Amino acid sequence: MTRPTALLLLATALGCRAATPTPTASVAPQAPQQPAPEQADERDEPALQPEPDEPMPEPAGEPDEPAALAVADPEPASADPAPADAAPRDAPTTGAREERGDGRIGLGNTCKITACSPKRRWRTKIRLTKVTVDDSLSRDLVSRLLHSHEWALHSCYQDALDEERRLAGTIELHLVIAPEPGKYGAQVRVAEGTGASTPALSEVERCFLRVARRLHFPRPRGQPETEVTVRLTLTPDGRGPPTIRK
């Protein structure tokens, strides 16, 4: 066989092989036709549908938040009783301020200490006409102490005026002042009346002595005890608030 003949046969064989795959190649492009990808898309679409549903697990987180709020709610609930308790505390505090004294409790100057009775209508005058002291105490000090208890003295006198509206006269008190044990001040150890100008003033004198026993003096200077004599002049003066004069 000559060389040209062999080449011809080879070309023919190659042509047959090239012709045979041609139909397969024509089928091959048909394979990637749109139906196959469309089906794939249709299959993918249901697979993609869960994507919008994927945020749906968030509701699972949403109930958790109210649950946390539900736990946080009891805290303010526990704090509520505190203001509720504070409200009743404020009321007594306000009442305590309204009833607060003026620093003279126990001196017979308010209706809480001495009942407000018709005797408060009397206008009375009580004058210190005599104060006798030695060098251990000053006359001015004794006068200030008696004036600090003037309302109690007026109360004693007004009680007597309720019985006799024209009652008047003088009362003299003798006081022995001695140091208080364990304290820096001094107290009235002995209090006695040296005589009232009228027998009707005897009850007033006893009441004055009770007031005098409540007085507290500074410790006498240079002496274990000292004596004080006080004379009080009492006169009624119509009706109205009581006054005291030296």
For residue 64, pLDDT beyond 70: no
Alpha carbon distance 166, 157 (integer Å): 11
In single-letter form, the type of residue at position 88 comes to P
Q: For the whole prediction, is pTM greater than 0.85?
A: no
Alpha carbon 243 to its chain centroid, in Å, reads: 39
Structure tokens at 45: 């679409």
The per-residue pLDDT for range 4-61, each reduced to its tens digit, is: 677 777 777 776 555 554 444 444 445 455 555 444 444 444 444 444 444 554 544 4
pLDDT, position 94 = 45
Query: Among residues of the chain, what percentage have pLDDT more than 70?
Result: 51
Work out whether strand 226-239 and strand 216-218 pair parallel, antiparallel, or are unpaired: unpaired
The DSSP result for 86-153, as a single string, is HHHHHHHHHHHHHT---S-TTSS-STTTS---GGGGEEEEEEEEEEE--TTS-HHHHHHHHHHTHHHH
Structure tokens at 135: 């060098």
pLDDT band at 133 (very low <50, low <70, confident <90, very high): confident
For residue 143, pLDDT beyond 80: yes
The per-residue pLDDT for range 153-193, each reduced to its tens digit, is: 988 998 888 888 888 999 999 988 888 776 777 878 888 88
Domain residue spans of the chain: 124-239
Q: Is 117 left (phi over 0), alpha (psi -120 to 50) or beta?
A: beta
